[in-house]
Structure 1
Amino acid sequence: MDPKTLARIGAIAFVAVAITATVIELSRKEERPEATPPRQAQVGAADPLRDELFRCQSLGEAGPRDPACLRAWAESRRRFLTPGTTRPQAGSGLPGSSGESRSRGAAPGGE
């Protein structure tokens, strides 16, 4: 068989497969995800840090200049990097505003 003919057959087969895949994809019914409420509604218990982080996220570019956001991000990093501490103690408000956060999650033997 001539190489030109073989190349043409290969090109035609490739185009046919591409067209078939496109038609199949376009004929699919679009699956819409279930309407989920905002992320805050999914939170089980009220966490002031999470609320503050959402507020800081909504600030956009002003977030890095907001002192409350800086404290919230520092506490979030501390929680993430310190094993075993995920929730603040009851009644402590937004953690990270005083030295209490260091004494709670500190490892035995000091820093």
Structure 2
Amino acid sequence: MDSKLLARIGAVIFVAIAITMTAIEMSRAPEPPRAGPAAVAETSATDPLLIELRRCQSIGAAGASDPDCLRAWAENRRRFLAPGALPAARIADGATPQEN
């Protein structure tokens, strides 16, 4: 067999497989959305730290001198830097932020 003929047969087979796979994929029903974002929204609605951080964000520049905002920001830093910590328990007990 001629190598050009073999290349053409291979190309035709490849295109046929690609068209078949595309047709199969287009005929599938769309998958329902996953519950990932809803679970994150539910967690953020019950997390006291996130509620406090949103309050601090809403008061603007006054949050820089608010002791509760300073404590929330310190706790947020600890949560970010030490993922094994229990931040919800520490912010609820009213502990003062520690400056490093």
TM-score (norm. length: structure 2): 0.60
Residue 29 (structure 1) aligns with: 29
Tell me, in whole angstroms, the C-alpha distance in 2 between the residues paired with 1:34 and 1:84. Answer: 28
Please give the secondary structure, in 1, of the residue aligned with 2:20. Answer: helix
Q: Which runs of 5+ in 2 are unaligned?
A: none
Which residue among 90, 102, 111 is the counterpart of 2:98? 102
Supply the RMSD in Å over aligned alpha carbons: 3.8
Tell me, in whole angstroms, the C-alpha distance in 1 between the residues paired with 2:30 and 2:87. Answer: 39
Tell me, in whole angstroms, the C-alpha distance in 2 between the residues paired with 1:5 and 1:74. Answer: 71
Tell me, in whole angstroms, the C-alpha distance in 1 between the residues paired with 2:93 and 2:73. Answer: 20
Once the two structures are TM-superposed, the CA of residue 48 in structure 1 deviates from its matched residue by 3.0
Q: Which runs of 5+ in 1 are unaligned?
A: 104-110
Cα 1:52/1:24, change in 2 over 3 Å: farther
Q: Which has the higher helix share?
A: 2
Superposed counterparts of 1:1-111, under 5 Å: 1-33=1-33, 37=38, 39-40=40-41, 42-43=42-43, 46-53=46-53, 55=54, 66-67=60-61, 68=63, 71=70, 74-82=74-82, 83-87=84-88, 88-90=90-92, 92=94, 100-102=96-98
Identity over aligned residues, as a percent? Answer: 45
The answer to which of 70-79 and 20-29 deviates more is 70-79
Give the paired residue count: 89
TM-score (norm. length: structure 1): 0.55
